[in-house]
Chains A and B, each alone.
Chain A
Amino acid sequence: MKKKSKFARYSLQDKALLTVGYILLGLFVVAIIVPMIYIIVASFIDPVTLQNKGITFDFSKWTLTAYERVMTNAQIWVGFKNAVVYSVVFTFVSVLVTMLAAYPMSRPDFRGRKFFNIIFVITMFFGGGLIPTYLLISNMGLKNSMWAIILPGAFSVWNMIIARTYYQGIPGELREAADVDGANELTFFFRILLPVCTPIIATLSLWQFVGMWNSYFDAMIYLDEASKQPLQLVLRAILIQSKPDEGMISDMQSTAERAQLSELLKYATIIISSLPLLVMYPFFQKYFDSGIMAGSVKG
């Protein structure tokens, strides 16, 4: 016998309500997917056709020129390399410092817990602001150093609270079994505690990595040299300022041709720069979910 679906059990009124709801949900999904497909298709269209008619499925108007130009552009690759370096170093430093600090803060017997908690939490709500922070970092000689964009945000109080909540959910017997005295906390932490914290480490790492990968403000104010700029700043020149690297369009004669080509390059740039994260994210999705759960349990 066929199992009756739950939908059939709803009253007529509820069915109507749900149908409207699902249609809205469907429209939302369409609104997300259609622009993405449009960008993918547009990135293959010949620049003149794209400007006059938009996308077309007349394949004689398709071309790979945008990809060739973007892929052979040195600045894009410099940006990619820098973004990988900054994001990896930032993620490592940030997660290490955060996980370390959360451990004593999670222990009820830790003396000074309340005091340090106040010190940390105040910074979530009040700070010096842009200019004092900028002056400090300049005076420390960190301008044009990657540490200028890595150190200031490396310790996240919010993530520390999430990690602390996670530690508190781990049975205390673990520590008793390991027979920890004050002297070998480090061994206990790295050998026994961290290995059972992989879900939260994965979550925080992904948050920090994606956050650093996608940000541009700190790099914009602290890293002036072209060789130090991360991908997002290179993208900003192409997508926001419409000033692609000269090498990408210099062979075009007229201003109109250059403008058309710059437009086309935007599409290919969006695809190439967004692809790595979009392809990777479904594999990490379960960690994101579990991490948000962990953080939301006790808030």
Chain B
Amino acid sequence: MGKTKTAIANKKSAGLHNSIVYVVQHWQLYVFFLLPALVLTIVFRYIPMGGILIAFEKYNPIKGILGSEWVGFKHFQRFLSSPDFLSYLGNTIKLSVFGMLWGFPVPILLAFLLNRIERTGVKKKIQLALYMPNFISVIVLCGIVRIFLSVTGPVNLLLGTQINFMTMPQAWRTIYIASGIWQGAGWGSIIYTAALSNASTELKEAAVIDGANIFQQIKAVEWPAIKSTVVIQFIMQAGNIMSVGFEKAYALQTDLNLASSEIIATYVYKKGLISGDYSFSTAVGLFNTVINVILLVAVNKIVAKMNDGQGI
């Protein structure tokens, strides 16, 4: 008994000794390679985590984070009991859930179709066009959307109507999601196209010779090739349900469509940086982050169960 304990202790101290020797010998790896990234991470990622404390305070910039008055969960209660809470939460969740429902399958379908085009020249040209919108900035995309949907814009000219789409809350999510698919679906298909190109051609030939129809081919050859990629992409997107992009939502907002366009991210920005209500805004942001982490863990667990224990 005593012997094993000393042995373990010896082993431990030997391990520690080895580590020190390693670090001394390879000090460059720590100082030149790792340190810059570590400093950036600590300063710009971990120090702000400490700043979350102001969500539980009545933050006063002069007194600082540590000197401000402690108020506990007051800001959370205020947010959760405000009449707008359910509306903002609903807008955020609906925007990303519907966005995912519509947007997630499109790149996969595009990849399946592209994969069946035999003439590489044609395929390359189609891909060039499909990827192009990805290089347009959010501002330009939203500018285009606003121009096309304005009262005097081409859509109204075409329909012979004068509908102001950008002021209609009921149209806003459709506009956001459709323009998102327009911009991102082609680009999103690259990762699946890459995975499909790894599918065994022999297997595919064999399936064709066996007289398998397209659905059977997809089931036997193509789906297995992209399944793991689909799972990873799904988890990543589902886990980001609460972090739907601020930039685009804000650029598509007008005063009249706020009923569906005000999401938590834009609310945090307006409350915090425009109205200067730092503590309340931090509390709302923290609420959002926590839900997001819970969702990510939950989705990962669920997918892992369905996918024979393989999550990420």
Contact = CB atoms under 8 A, between A and B. Distances in A.
Contact of A130 (B49, B112, B191, B273): B273
A32 B182 contact: yes
A43 B34 CA distance: 50
A127 B289 contact: yes
Interface of B: 19, 22-23, 25-30, 32-34, 36-38, 40-41, 43-52, 54, 61, 109-110, 112-114, 116, 118, 126-133, 135-140, 142-144, 146-148, 150, 152, 154, 157, 182, 185-186, 190-191, 194-195, 208, 213-214, 228-229, 232, 239, 246-247, 250-251, 268-269, 272-273, 278, 281-282, 285-286, 288-289, 292-293, 296, 312
B126 A39 contact: no
A25 B19 contact: no
Nearest to A181: B25
Interface of A: 5-7, 9-11, 13-14, 17-18, 21-22, 24-25, 28-29, 31-33, 35-36, 38-39, 42, 51-55, 97-98, 100-101, 103-105, 107, 109-112, 116, 119-120, 123, 125-136, 151-152, 154-155, 160, 181-183, 185-186, 189, 210, 213-217, 221, 232, 235-236, 238-240, 263, 266-267, 269-270, 273-274, 277-278, 281-282, 285, 288-289, 292-293, 296, 299
A104 B289 contact: no
B130 A32 contact: yes
B48 A129 contact: yes
Contacts of A282: 128
A296 B191 contact: yes
Contacts of A105: 34
A215 B126 CA distance: 27
A191 to B, nearest CB: 14
B139 A239 contact: yes
A103 to B, nearest CB: 5
A292 B194 contact: yes
Contacts of A296: 191, 194-195, 229
A110 B26 CA distance: 9
The dominant DSSP class at the B interface is helix
Given A98-B37, A232-B137, A240-B139, A7 B118 contact: yes
Tell me if A's interface is mostly helix, strand, loop or mixed: helix
A129 B138 CA distance: 21
Contacts of B110: 25, 28
Contacts of A38: 154
A278 B29 CA distance: 39
Contacts of A126: 49, 289, 293
Contacts of B44: 133, 136, 151-152
Contact of A100 (B33, B47, B147, B154): B33
B40 A131 contact: no
Contact of B247 (A97, A215, A266): A215
Given A32-B129, A151-B44, A274-B137, A125 B296 contact: yes
Contact of A278 (B19, B135, B228): B135
Given A6-B118, A110-B29, A293-B194, A13 B37 contact: no
Given A128-B45, A235-B139, 11 more contacts: A32-B129, A97-B36, A119-B38, A129-B52, A134-B273, A152-B44, A186-B32, A263-B150, A263-B152, A278-B135, A282-B128
Given A13-B213, A236-B139, A299 B273 contact: no
B45 A267 contact: no
Most interface-central of A36, A125, A213 (chain B CB within 10 A): A125
Nearest to B18: A111
A270 B232 CA distance: 35
Nearest to A216: B139
A160 B36 CA distance: 13
Closest 6 CB pairs of A and B: A128-B48, A132-B51, A239-B143, A101-B37, A129-B285, A214-B137
A282 B49 CA distance: 41
A21 B281 contact: no
